[in-house]
Structure 1
Amino acid sequence: MEPSVVNPALLIIDMQQGMNQPTLGRRNNLGAEVQMQHLLNAWRHAGRPIVHIRHISRTHGSVFWPGQPGCEFQPALSPLPHEHVVEKNVPDAFAATGLERWLHTRAIRQLVIVGVITNNSVESTARSAGNLGFDVSVVADACYTFDQPDLSGRLWPAEDVHALSLSNLAMDYAKVVETEEILAQFTAG
C-alpha cells in the first residue's frame, strides 16, 4: 500500500458462518480472522471504504443457499449498516456484481483483499482486480484455505495450497503482504 494513496478499499471475502462447517476439512492460518479484525478495525477507525463480499450459492442444499444460517456473516466480521455489501454467485466478486462500478464511482484504485478461500474466491477476485487495472494487495496471514485433493486423488495440505495460490497471484496480479505491513501504513501516514 503506497502512503500517497489515501482511499484504499478493504475487501473481506466470504467470511460467512458456513466457512466454519467441519465438512470443509482442515484449514490453515487459524489466526486469520484475528488479522482480518485488526485490518477491519484500522479501516473503520480511518474511515476508509470497506466492502463485505458474501457468497450466495446457486446449488440447492449448499450451506450458502439463501436463507440458510451459513449465508450469514461471522459476527466478529459483520458489516456495519453504512458498509457496502456485495453478493456474488461465483468465486469472482467482480462477475455480474457491480463491484467494479462501485469502486470506480468512488475513485478507488487500490484494493486490500482478505478472506477465504485463498485458492478460490480470493484468488479469482484478485486476478480479476489485477486484470482490471486495480493496484491489489492480498494479505497472506488474513486469508485461509482448506486441504485440497488434486485430480489424481492426492490430498494437498492447506498450507501448500495457500502458498501456491499466493505465488500464482504474486506473478502478475497482486502484491502479497502481511497484516503488519498494511497496518504500518496507518502509522506512517
Structure 2
Amino acid sequence: MEIAENAALLVIDVQKAFEDLDFWGPRNNPAADSHIAALIDAWQATARPVVWTRHDSVQPGSPLRKGDEGNDFKGYVEERRGKGAAAELLVTKTVNSAFYGSPDLDAWLRASGVGQLVVTGIQTNMCAETTARMGGNLGYDVLFVLDATHTFDLEGPFGWRLPAEELARATAVSLHGGGFAQVVRTAEVLDAVGVSAGLEGAGLEGAGR
C-alpha cells in the first residue's frame, strides 16, 4: 500500500450525538474511536492534510441538529483540530456526501493537488460510504479504513433488520468489490505512513465517551 505525501484524511462526522445508543441502537466496532484518533495523529505527525466533516442535520428530533450538544465533535477530535502542520479544512453538510457540503470539498482538494483520500468516521454505511463512493466517481484514489468506522443496527423494508456488523461488511464488499475504494485496516495505513502506534484506547483521554 502506498500513501501519497499529500493524501487527505477525511474524518467523517465524529460527533457526540453518536454516543446516544438510546437513539441509534446497538453499534459495532468499539475500537473505532481509538483507530480514528491514531490516524489523525499519524496524519498530523507526517504533515498531511486533514478534512473534518460535521453533519448539521435539518431533520426534526435529530440529535445532530446544529446548536444541540450532540452536533459538537467528540472531545478527542476537537482537541486535535488545528494541531497539524499541513492544511486542515472543516466541511459542514446536511446530506450524506461530504462532496455536497460547504465549502466545496472537491474544489479544495483539486486546488491543493490532492488525488488520494483516506476515509474514516461515522456511519460506515451512511456518510462514510456515500463520501467514498462519490470520491471514487470523481476520480480520486480512495482508501476506506473499515475498522476506523462504525455504524448501528438498521431496519429496512419488508421487516428486514440487519445488525451493524453485517451492514459494515456489506459496505466493505460493495466498495471494494465494486471498485469504488480499496478497503483497508488502520494498522496497514499506519504502517504505510511509517507511524507505529498502540491502537487500543490510543489517545482517547478526555474524549467524553
Contact 2:91 2:101 in 1 (8 A): no
How many residues align? The count is 187
How far apart, in 1, do the equivalents of 2:92 and 2:185 lie? 26
Specify the alignment match of 1:86 in structure 2: 91
The question of 1:66 aligning with 2:66 is answered yes
Specify the alignment match of 2:123 in structure 1: 117
Specify the alignment match of 1:14 in structure 2: 13
Superposition RMSD on alpha carbons, in Å? 1.4
Contact 2:92 2:101 in 1 (8 A): no
How far apart, in 1, do the equivalents of 2:146 and 2:116 lie? 17
- Aligned pair partner of 2:134 in 128, 131, 145: 128
Aligned residue runs from structure 1 range 1-189, under 5 A: 1-3=1-3, 5-22=4-21, 23-78=23-78, 79-81=80-82, 83-97=88-102, 98-170=104-176, 171-187=178-194
- TM-score between both structures, scaled by the size of structure 1: 0.94
How far apart, in 2, do the equivalents of 1:174 and 1:168 lie? 9
- After TM superposition, which residue ranges in structure 1, 4 or more long, deviate above 6 angstroms? none
How far apart, in 1, do the equivalents of 2:106 and 2:93 lie? 13
Letter in 1 for 2:37: Q
> Residues 103-156 of structure 1, C-alpha deviation per residue, up to 9 Å, x if partnerless?
011000000000011111011100000000000000011011101112012221
Letter in 1 for 2:17: G
> Residues 21-62 of structure 1, C-alpha deviation per residue, up to 9 Å, x if partnerless?
121000010100000011000001111100010000112332
> Residues 77-115 of structure 1, C-alpha deviation per residue, up to 9 Å, x if partnerless?
125237311001100110143000010110000000000
Unaligned stretches of 5+ residues in structure 1: none
- TM-score between both structures, scaled by the size of structure 2: 0.86
Sequence identity of aligned pairs in percent? 37
Letter in 2 for 1:127: R
